[in-house]
Amino acid sequence: MLFAHRRTLRKGRSFALAINFVGFLLFLGLATYLVFFQEKTSGIWFGKAVFVISALTLPVVMWWLIRLFGGTGEWNIQISETELIWQSPNNVGEKSFRVLIANISKIIREPPQHNSETSDWYFIETLSGERYHLNPSASGINLNKLCNTLEKLGVKYELSVKN
């Protein structure tokens, strides 16, 4: 085994819950400060916009957390000399897959799709054109180590430029 990563769903849940809770509190604190303690009109409007964004994203984050807490299993990600195995827990919204190294065309790293996102998106593309999204979310995997291991096995690495 050239690369192996395992994380229990319990640990992934705890990590995701903590990050989302802290992030939401930071946004709520920023919005509260801007609306109630800022004297400039532009700051007050910006604070109201942060409140609206927080209110709109909260249901999506809650839905994702509910799915995460309803799942069973663990993340088990392995790379051997011949194949990549990405096993995700059941009912968490991530796709499990198994691909032969010889069938992998390239690794694609794309910049964030929305301005609010901070991390890049990673994909495995097969020779047939099928793409698998590598989602580090609650699995906690270090995608740089995964990609470096695949590069050592001869898989090309490509950085897409946002148009």
**Given pLDDT bands bounded at 50, 70 and 90, which one contains residue 60?**
confident
Instruction: Answer yes or no: are the C-beta atoms of 5 and 141 closer than 8 Å.
Output: yes
Indicate if 94 and 142 belong to the same structural domain. yes
Q: Check residue 140 and give its pLDDT.
A: 83
Indicate if 80 and 62 belong to the same structural domain. no
CATH number of the domain bearing residue 152: 2.30.29.30
pTM of the model: 0.68
Instruction: Answer yes or no: are the C-beta atoms of 157 and 106 closer than 8 Å.
Output: yes
**Given pLDDT bands bounded at 50, 70 and 90, which one contains residue 123?**
very high
Indicate if 78 and 66 belong to the same structural domain. no
**Could you tell me the CA-to-CA distances from 63 to 57, 66, 74, 107, 162 in Å, in that order?**
10, 5, 20, 30, 29
**Given pLDDT bands bounded at 50, 70 and 90, which one contains residue 138?**
low
Indicate if 66 and 77 belong to the same structural domain. no
Query: DSSP for 62-98?
Result: HHHHHHHHH-BSEEEEEE-SSEEEEE--BTSSPPPEE
Indicate if 21 and 82 belong to the same structural domain. no
In this model, does residue 88 exceed pLDDT 60?
A: yes
In this model, does residue 106 exceed pLDDT 70?
A: yes
Range of the domain at 126: 3-8+73-159
Q: How far apart are CA 94 and CA 86, in angstroms?
A: 10
Indicate if 93 and 57 belong to the same structural domain. no
Residues with Cβ within 8 Å of residue 127, at least 6 apart in sequence = 103, 104, 105
Indicate if 82 and 63 belong to the same structural domain. no
Question: How many domains does the chain contain in total?
Answer: 2
Q: Check residue 137 and give its pLDDT.
A: 73
Indicate if 66 and 78 belong to the same structural domain. no
Q: Name the domain boundary from 70, 94, 115.
A: 70
